[in-house]
Amino acid sequence: MVRVIGFLVGLVFAGVLLISLVVGVSNYFSNPPEELAAEALHQHPQHLRLSSDGPFGKFDKAQLQRGFQVYKEVCSACHSLSLVSFRDLHALGYEEPEIKAIADQWQVQVPSINPETGEASSRKAVPSDRFPSPYANEIAARAANNNALPPDLSLITKSREGGASYVHALLTGYRNQSPELLKEHPDAKTPPGLHYNPWFANLNIAMPPPLTAEGQVTFADGTKGTVDQMATDVAAFLVWTAEPKLESRHAAGLAVVVFLLIASILGYLAYRQIWYEAKRKVRVTGPLEPKNQAKSRSAKAKQGVAG
Ligand code: HEC
């Protein structure tokens, strides 16, 4: 009896679930949800080709130096690199005296304590310091940026979908909103103090366009400083800050694959070596042995059975 009642209760539950599923699906198709402007206008970045891509990728040091120059002259006015030290620039090909000079002349001083009075003060950066934030704390940073916080850029290419391609698309993606676009999506109007950028998830970013004019950064190696070039180089630089050991990871991966390949070949040869006698001794026995098959054929023929 209990079983029957349990079965009936279960049946009622399953029936209610089925009805709500059918009603939900039919509602979805009869009144499809309206597309939000942020979904309709949001753009996905095109792939940015960099020399560090792929399993054999290596950094282009000249490009990383140019990217560092863009960070130093433009982005560092708002963004820190809290996981990168000045002395890490050695990997980009800078020598020690150059790194000391870069740290010494950095526009932003690092927080410190006056050893005589014990009061908070600031001092010039040294090579062991990380790239500092220009703001004393988050409140000061938000106050200066329309209540938005400029994120630390050390890991930004890992923390955003698209990585370097996204950073490049964002930096080159600022647009004016055309009247047709506003007529079609009146709710997409950019609020004052923000900037329209269809590559940013909600279309309106608090960061003013940082790269605006050709030649904004004059590259030491003579490369032309177009907006696209500056955006590409700084994106490549931010790939390095997020994964400075990328080249050794690629090299280790390659060595492991080669090792496994050789080990597999040796393993196969060892297998052949060990079993080479044993395989020869295998014989067909039992009903499949040609002798026995002939016997069974003749017995069947005698009895008049086909096959
Ligand atoms: C005037 C200050 C300022 C400068 C200069 C600046 N940024 Fe920003 N940046 C911001 C602010 C503020 C935000 C946060 C925007 C938001 O959340 O709406 C931001 C956000 C970002 C983001 C994250 C976007 C996201 O998906 O959340 C990236 C990447 C970025 N900036 C890269 C750069 C690069 C690269 C440069 C140099 C070429 C640069 N910024 C220069 C203020 C600045």
Report the nearest atom of ligand 1 relative to the CA of 145.
Answer: 12
CA 206 / ligand 1 centre spacing (Å): 8
By most ligand atoms within 8 Å of CB, the mutation choice from 71, 79, 174 for ligand 1 is 79
By most ligand atoms within 8 Å of CB, the mutation choice from 73, 157, 207 for ligand 1 is 207
**For atom 6 of ligand 1, which residue has the closest CA?**
75
Q: 61-73 and 227-242 are packed helices; what angle lies between their axes, rounded to 10 degrees?
A: 100
Distances (CA, A) of 274 to 260, 262, 269, 279, 299: 21, 18, 9, 10, 42
CA 160 / ligand 1 centre spacing (Å): 13
Q: What is the pLDDT along the chain (307 residues), one digit of tens a residue?
A: 889 999 999 999 999 999 999 999 999 999 888 878 888 889 999 999 999 999 899 999 999 999 999 999 999 999 999 999 999 999 999 999 999 999 999 999 999 999 899 999 999 999 999 999 999 999 999 999 999 999 999 999 999 999 999 999 999 999 998 888 888 888 888 999 999 999 999 999 999 999 999 999 999 999 999 999 999 999 999 999 999 999 999 999 999 999 999 999 999 999 988 887 776 666 667 787 888 889 989 999 998 887 6
pLDDT at 160: 96
131 forms beta bridges with: 81
DSSP assignment of 244-264 equals TTHHHHHHHHHHHHHHHHHHH
pLDDT at 307: 60
Answer yes or no: is the C-beta of 155 below 6 A from any ligand 1 atom.
Answer: no
CA 288 / ligand 1 centre spacing (Å): 78
Domain boundaries, the chain: 41-80+133-244, 249-295
Q: Quick one: three-class SS letters along 266-279?
A: HHHHHHHHHHHHHH
pLDDT at 282: 60
Q: Is residue 194 within 8 Å of 200, Cβ to Cβ?
A: no
**For atom 25 of ligand 1, which residue has the closest CA?**
200
pLDDT at 99: 97
d(CA 235, CA 66): 10
Report the nearest atom of ligand 1 relative to the CA of 235.
Answer: 35
**For atom 40 of ligand 1, which residue has the closest CA?**
75
In this structure, the number of other CB atoms found within 10 A of the CB of residue 150 comes to: 19
CA 151 / ligand 1 centre spacing (Å): 7
pLDDT at 293: 87
Which CATH architecture best describes the domain 41-80+133-244? Orthogonal Bundle (1.10)
228-253 pLDDT, tens digit per residue, is: 999 999 999 999 999 999 999 999 99
Answer yes or no: is the C-beta of 67 below 6 A from any ligand 1 atom.
Answer: no
Answer yes or no: is the C-beta of 223 below 6 A from any ligand 1 atom.
Answer: no
